[in-house]
Amino acid sequence: MPKITLKGSPVTLVGAEVRAGQKAPDFKVQKTDMSDYTLASGKGKVRILCAVPSLDTGVCDTETRRFNQEAAKLPGVEIVTISMDLPMAQKRWCGAAGVDKVITASDHREASFGRAYGCLVQGGPLDRFLARAVFVLGPENEIRYVEYVPEVSTEPDYAKALAAAGKR
């Protein structure tokens, strides 16, 4: 598993670490309209899947707003931000933040995304939250790029994720 910290303290992750080149594992999360979003939901599209602890934190807010801006420049690329926030809270946050190009989805029911992608935190102050990570999937659900952000309180490498999404 990748070494992740929160303000310098180690964070324990559960689930399987994924790597570029492998097939993306399936998952089921809940969108703000309460419908399910699964791996099959976006088949045929390039996707950026962003795991964040909570949209109600400064770094997650900044990251999701940034990917929302970038989405306008990436036709045909779907960007999904996944957190443990409840769908109603995500919907409220998107409305207040003006985020309308990124899909937000909640892993609160089963933590299936967190377990399948190895970013579910176990223990400590972020117990059952998702660690910050970015996964880029190709149209056939192959993983093109993976970043487990080493320090949860920092932003991901946008340039690398966007470059991986831009490859056709």
Q: Per residue in 42-64, pLDDT tens?
A: 889 999 999 999 999 999 999 99
**Strand ranges (DSSP E) for 7-102?**
9-14, 28-31, 36-38, 46-51, 77-83
| 94 belongs to the catalytic site | no
User: What's the rounded Cα separation, in Å, for the pair 52 and 73?
Assistant: 22
DSSP category for residue 151: B
CATH of the domain at 20: 3.40.30.10
Give the range of the structural domain holding residue 67, as residue numbers without chain letter: 4-166
pTM of the model: 0.96
pLDDT of 29 above 80: yes
Q: What's the structural domain count of the chain?
A: 1
pLDDT of 168 above 60: no
**Strand ranges (DSSP E) for the chain?**
4-6, 9-14, 28-31, 36-38, 46-51, 77-83, 103-106, 120-122, 133-137, 143-148
Annotated active-site residue in 50, 60, 94, 119: 60
